[in-house]
Structure 1
Amino acid sequence: MRVDFIKMHGLGNDFVVLDARAREIPAMQPAIAAAIADRNTGIGCDQLILLEKSDAADFRMRIFNQDGSEVGACGNASRAVAMLHGSDAEIETAGGTLSVSPTAGGATVDMGEPRFDWDAIPLAYAMDTLSMPVGWEMLGDPGAVNVGNPHVIFFVDDTDAVPLDRIGPEVEEDPLFPERVNVNVATIEDRSRIRLRVWERGAGLTRACGTGACATAVHAMRRKLVDSPVTVALPGGELKIEWSPGGSIRMTGPATESFRGSFEWDEFA
């Protein structure tokens, strides 16, 4: 079976998008998603995005990380899919329903309300998620936020000085996080700007992470370190994040279509 795909990226965080809304494709399995995402023997991407019909929204978006694990949210992919769809839409995801609005060269996404309760992150045991009494090497005093997927955030003097490729996997796999966790290290430059790097669970170091930008901005606002809106600068580019306590997070940024192609399903099944 020949299957069409669209290669897209948001600030360098790249996706293979399969659109099964009009034409059904075989059931997606973790091993197939990982094979397609493999940069050496597959098409190559950080996440595979599967669009399906939905009874609860305009359509459904499923998200598979590079290792084949399915996750609940991806902010960069949401912007890419919004641009691909071409009009305002409600998107069903495993992390909740998202509202998206295409803009010139990208989209604004209503990411829903962040969650802060320890069992909503989730953590293995109760603690204050605003200031967690834990640490790993040079990283300490983190906070945790769930924005459809779990994030832990560390504020540091210089995010570029942190060996995130080494510490990131250790934190991601720590038993404190029963569903693993995305690891964010951020530097507050001023009250309107944050510099951020992210180790993404199931994908590793990434040029950009939309949910990471949202979680980091919200945590910085909770600690009264920045104001809303705030610009989050990632290695791949910048996102604007808006949030007020008790409300939804709004993320605005670019998305790009790279190219289109097709493949034989049996090559990866």
Structure 2
Amino acid sequence: MQFNFAKYQAAGNDFIIIDNFQDHYYTYNPLLTKQLCHRQFGIGADGIISIEKKAGYDFALLHYNADGSQGDGLCGNGSRSALHYAQVLGIIDQKAYFTAIDGAHIGYIRNELVDLTLQDVTLVQPLGSGYFLNNGTRHYVEMVDVIERMDMEAVGFPKRNMYPFEKEGVNINFVQLLEPDAIRIRTCECGLDSEPLSCGTGAVASALVASAYYGLNSPVKVTTKGGKLQVTFRHLPDGRFIDIHLVGPVYQSFCGTVNPANLPPIIGCNPL
């Protein structure tokens, strides 16, 4: 069955957004997900976000990774993109109460910016040479002096299954401090075979670590390879972070219709 989609990008983090709100056009299938996200044999994206109907909420969001796996944590930039598409579809106006895999969220659309609230973070803990926290998604944050020198293939991706995350994996963020109250980040995400241009929950995790251990104040400006984001929060005396927001623009690149039956198999290039 063919279905409509919209292609979005948020700070270079790109997604296929599917409207499953009225009719269930897209049902999760690992191979189909991988085909749709493939940049040569499909539409191309870092992941798929499906907008679903959910009692008690404006909508629910389901997230699938580009490698065909189901997302096991919140997708920040994908959620912000879906908020914008939900407004385009007429599901919401300028505010939404929705649910994702980690629970309930509120989103706002203000002019050109999409603002996503995240769950409170009660613990930011040292781990190895960096820090770990869960803000709806597991993140490990490590500070570096010159972020451009990081070899993500050799250093970043192998760390995704570092101890004690050998089984479930963890998203890896490398962070360079800037002045004032600003950081530059790069991320290796679980579920992706290459480095994304940005990661929304990674931006938040990195900003909170920079605040907890390096004294940065809200709002923290975050520069990624694909664009700029802003993270706002309240840092309480007991160490907790509340009222956390990820803010930035999103863009609908194009929209279209795809028939999964017409997608070619994902194969390697034959030698000449």
TM-score, normalized by the shorter chain, greater than 0.5: yes
Separation (CA, whole Å) in 2 of partners of 1:267 and 1:43? 12
Separation (CA, whole Å) in 2 of partners of 1:107 and 1:100? 7
| Partner of residue 76, structure 2 | 75
Assess if the C-alpha contact under 8 Å between 1:195 and 1:233 holds in 2.
Answer: yes
Separation (CA, whole Å) in 2 of partners of 1:51 and 1:267? 23
User: Which of 230, 252, 264 matches 2:220?
Assistant: 230
Separation (CA, whole Å) in 2 of partners of 1:233 and 1:66? 23
Separation (CA, whole Å) in 1 of partners of 2:141 and 2:97? 28
| Partner of residue 183, structure 1 | 172
Q: Kindly report structure 1 stretches of 4+ aligned residues shifted beyond 4 Å.
A: none
Separation (CA, whole Å) in 1 of partners of 2:31 and 2:248? 31
| Partner of residue 25, structure 1 | 25
Separation (CA, whole Å) in 1 of partners of 2:209 and 2:163? 22
| Partner of residue 97, structure 1 | 104
Assess if the C-alpha contact under 8 Å between 1:105 and 1:256 holds in 2.
Answer: no
Q: CA shift at 1:26, angstroms?
A: 4.5
Separation (CA, whole Å) in 1 of partners of 2:9 and 2:117? 19
Q: CA shift at 1:225, angstroms?
A: 3.0
Separation (CA, whole Å) in 2 of partners of 1:191 and 1:226? 8
Using the TM superposition, name which of 219-228 and 11-20 deviates more: 219-228
| Partner of residue 181, structure 2 | 192
Q: Unaligned regions of 5+ residues in structure 1, if any?
A: 117-128, 135-140
Q: Deviations over 1:173-218 (max 9, x none)?
A: 2242131111100011124110111111111311111100000001
Q: CA shift at 1:88, angstroms?
A: 0.6
Using the TM superposition, name which of 225-234 and 240-249 deviates more: 240-249
Alignment pair present for 1:256 and 2:251: yes
3-state SS of the aligned residue for 2:125?
A: coil
2:253 maps to a residue whose letter is S
2:218 maps to a residue whose letter is S
Alignment pair present for 1:239 and 2:229: yes
Separation (CA, whole Å) in 1 of partners of 2:209 and 2:176? 12
| Partner of residue 154, structure 2 | 166
Alpha-carbon spacing, 1:26–1:77, altered in 2? closer, same or farther (3 Å): closer
| Partner of residue 154, structure 1 | 142
Q: Unaligned regions of 5+ residues in structure 2, if any?
A: 88-93, 266-272
Separation (CA, whole Å) in 1 of partners of 2:56 and 2:172? 31
Q: Deviations over 1:20-74 (max 9, x none)?
A: 1022215212222111111111111001111111114210111111111222211
Percent of pairs with identical residues:
27
Alpha-carbon RMSD? 1.6
Which TM-score applies when normalising by structure 2?
Answer: 0.87
| Partner of residue 120, structure 1 | none
Assess if the C-alpha contact under 8 Å between 1:190 and 1:226 holds in 2.
Answer: no
Which TM-score applies when normalising by structure 1?
Answer: 0.88
2:69 maps to a residue whose letter is S
| Partner of residue 124, structure 1 | none
Q: CA shift at 1:266, angstroms?
A: 2.9
Q: Deviations over 1:237-262 (max 9, x none)?
A: 11111112341311110100000111
> Aligned runs of 1:115-154 on 2, under 5 Å?
115-116=122-123, 130-132=125-127, 134=128, 141-154=129-142
Assess if the C-alpha contact under 8 Å between 2:5 and 2:19 holds in 1.
Answer: yes
Alignment pair present for 1:211 and 2:201: yes
Count of matched residue positions in the alignment of Structure 1 and Structure 2 = 250
